[in-house]
Chain A
Amino acid sequence: MSAETIAFVPVRYGTQVVGGAETLTRLLVEELDARGWPVEVLTTCALDPYSWTSYFPAGVETVHGITVRRFPTESRKYTRKVFKTETEILAGKRVSRRRQEFWIRSVVTSDALRRYLGEKRGDYRAFVFAPYLFGTTYQGVLEVPEKSYIIPCLHDEPYAYYAIYKKLMHSARALMFNSVPEMELARRIYGDDLPGRVVGMGFSPYTANGERFRYKYAVDGDFVLYTGRREIAKNTPLLLRFFCNYLENTGREVSLVLTGAGQIEIPFSFRNRVIDVGYVDERDLRDAYDAATLICHPSTKESFSIMILEAWLAGLPCLVHADCAVTRYHVEKSGGGLWFADYATFHEALSLLLDNVEIRERMGEKGREYVLSAYSWDEVVRNFTAVLEEGERSAR
């Protein structure tokens, strides 16, 4: 470690970790490392985003050649008071500042990490926290505000409107956004004077073998792919309901293949058409993109959506939710897919894509062109450097 080292502080880190903010941070760290930047990762021992219990051993390890320092989390006390506060927040009710502070302290914190940041602040050039929502980011930014940057991964969700987050966003030197709609949202909520710019993540073309995926996971025929965390916040239950209704209404022989982590209750009679293959590694995921007919991303709360951009690299058209500003922005800008607002539009859009190979291929091509031109690593690193330098200039 040197005074030039940039420390990334994601709430979780590792190749097994499933999550957009975490994946984005890992790939950015690895790219900077490959380009010779001194980087380190300071994170928790947690793997499971629900219990936040320690999974990885505390201490120093190396992941893909990068030094990772892990700190234990405080076990989450999911008391009635926390539950009540969270319910009120999600219902959009007014919650006092004191209770907001109380609530954030119960959403994964690590005193050991906070102490380390305080003690070693002089040993690092900058601390880049991700994402905004968790106690580790809140504690950390307030501990070392003069060197803090945040990759917020902000969604339009009730939490975002809380005063504690306004304080958090304005305490950092600058913010690194993933997309233009995310930056616009942040400035709408926290004020136009919020420093920062779009950094995002870069993508490189890859090769894949869809046949291999089909063989390995015993998948035949056309299929719609969903990948990522399976949870209400990502609208996975909605996709499952729409898809099962689509099968019932049309009688078509098309499957839905789900990859990723999280529980999902698939009705038994649909198990032959809704195939959950669970967590898959990077190679299998790319092969899945190559094998799929189209990808569907029903989430309405995205700050970037790595899944769609990666799928476009494989020439896959995508179907997104009309209410998600970010994914719709990508689709509108690229022409690489369609969006749906309700079951009826989902039904028609899916039929249209399944029936028209040429349209699918053309949309896939347009998506690929968009990713390769808008999200190259050179551009990302240039913007990352610019945010750091702007932050350092404003600190002087």
Chain B
Amino acid sequence: MGETEKPATEGTAGKAPPGGASANLALEVEGIDADAIVRRIEERVEERRADGVYRDLPLLELEEERTGGGEAEVSFDPLHELIFLNQLARQYAEVTSHYPIGSRRSLLGPFIKVSKKAMRRFMTPYMDALFAKQREFNAQCLRSMETFLEMIKRERERSYHGGLDRYTAWVELGFAAEDEAELLREAARRFPEGKPIIHLYSGKGDFLAAAAGEDRAAFGVEEDPRLVKIAQDRDLKVLSARPLDFLESQPLESLQAVFVQELGERGDSRELLWLVTALADRLEKGGIVVALNHHPHSVLGVEEAFADPTLLRLVHPGTMQGLFERAGFREVEAIPSADFSPAEKEEWKEKLGGAALESGDLAELLFSPRRYLLEARR
């Protein structure tokens, strides 16, 4: 996930409200001196204190003043309403007979308190029997509300463009990626033996395991500490760092071999451009980059790719090739990979109900390779 620009930070800046304007505070931005600013603030407070702009009322009084003792009409987002209700329910769900007992009468007060306490003690067994059911009911309601709230938050998260992270998708939501072991082995074999491979965005470490199976030394760089932990628990070598920061920390022309899976398919599209440029700078002459990406040619392949809720876009091999060439890579080649097996084709044919899919243009469009391996050399 790329760092985003902050939205509308000047939201209320132009309004110059009555008590809030600070336009008169002439401040130098470059060499900011917090001490000097606070001194200016204090001077300004002294100048304006008499104007009555700094009214500081207790909350109850403030609320009373705003509402005139009546009911306030406030509209807020239904999600905030549910969060508020949830907190309120949690506060009152635990019903007990141990309410506070007191008396305002000064002389008779202690006697009244004693008698109230005696009455409570006498009533407690009956009240507890009643309250036990109420508590059970409240607890159930609370659980349901919490479930609704979590569901809504998760749905909002999922429906936000690119909002779901890989860990949540893969581990918590149990998203099962297609079996890629053979594809990853094929990608590993593209690297010359003896060259240490760096896998950027290594995730759970599936490529690292495949590379080890092909006698290639590889280590991963992953920014999500939860995924790092999973890979490390598999005894795979993974560095916990943001891949772009890692690349930028490497000396120029120092890396020999880099693997990236689903390059540019997640996160901010700027990250793709930065990454390709950084790779071009950091790879030694003759160094190799291999990327394994989804191929947007096949309709069915695209449908399968987007079963992964963390994918944002697919990048055409022609576009990817162009980006690498533009960044300064000498030899760039995109190799289609991952054909549909006869059994998979059969399954799709049944779903689509067409014997016409046996061969011809339509079959070619539907069943063209789902992946491509991009091989680029400096």
Q: A interface vs B, CB < 8 Å?
A: 30, 34, 64-65, 204-212, 214-218, 221-222, 237, 240-242, 244-246, 248-254, 263, 265, 267-272, 275-278, 283, 290-291, 293, 331-332, 335-339, 342-345, 347-349, 351-352, 354-360, 362-363, 366
Q: How many Å lie between the Cα of A302 and that of B23 in the bound state?
A: 33
A interface footprint on B145-177 (CB within 8 Å = 1, 0 otherwise) = 000000001001100101101000000000000
Question: Min CB distance, A31 to chain B, in Å?
Answer: 10
Which of B29, B38, B157, B229 is within 8 Å of A362, CB to CB?
B29
**Interface of chain B, helix or strand or loop or mixed?**
loop
Which of A207, A245, A271 is within 8 Å of B1, CB to CB?
A207
Knowing A242-B56, A352-B37 are in contact, say whether A252-B12 is a contact too (CB < 8 A).
yes
Residues of B within 8 A of A277 (CB): 80, 83
Task: Identify the 8 closest CB pairs spanning chains A and B, nearest first.
Answer: A269-B72, A250-B20, A343-B56, A267-B63, A344-B54, A222-B11, A218-B77, A249-B19
Chain A residue nearest in CB terms to B75 = A272
- The answer on a CB contact under 8 Å between A251 and B84 is no
Q: How many Å lie between the Cα of A354 and that of B15 in the bound state?
A: 11
Chain B residue nearest in CB terms to A277 = B83
Q: Among the interface residues B37, B53, B77, B232, which one has the most CB atoms of the partner chain A within 10 A?
A: B37
Q: Is B106 at the interface (CB under 8 A from chain A)?
A: no
- The answer on a CB contact under 8 Å between A241 and B58 is yes
**Interface of chain A, helix or strand or loop or mixed?**
helix
Chain B residue nearest in CB terms to A269 = B72
- The answer on a CB contact under 8 Å between A205 and B56 is no
Identify 23 residue pairs between A and B in the complex whose beta-carbon atoms are under 8 Å apart, listed by A's number: A34-B240, A204-B241, A208-B3, A209-B4, A214-B7, A215-B160, A217-B153, A218-B79, A248-B55, A249-B54, A252-B15, A268-B72, A272-B76, A291-B7, A337-B34, A342-B56, A344-B56, A345-B41, A354-B20, A359-B32, A360-B9, A362-B32, A366-B32
- The answer on a CB contact under 8 Å between B160 and A276 is no
Q: Among the interface residues A206, A269, A345, which one has the most CB atoms of the partner chain B within 10 A?
A: A269
- The answer on a CB contact under 8 Å between A248 and B91 is no
Q: Is B123 at the interface (CB under 8 A from chain A)?
A: no
Which of A207, A241, A251, A359 is within 8 Å of B56, CB to CB?
A241
Q: How many Å lie between the Cα of A352 and that of B21 in the bound state?
A: 8
Q: Is B57 at the interface (CB under 8 A from chain A)?
A: yes
Residues of B within 8 A of A252 (CB): 12, 15, 17, 20
- The answer on a CB contact under 8 Å between A349 and B41 is yes
Which of A205, A241, A332 is within 8 Å of B34, CB to CB?
A332
Q: Is B351 at the interface (CB under 8 A from chain A)?
A: no
Knowing A210-B6, A215-B156, A249-B53 are in contact, say whether A347-B32 is a contact too (CB < 8 A).
no
- The answer on a CB contact under 8 Å between A207 and B242 is yes
- The answer on a CB contact under 8 Å between A348 and B41 is yes
Which of B56, B84, B232 is within 8 Å of A276, CB to CB?
B84
- The answer on a CB contact under 8 Å between A351 and B63 is no
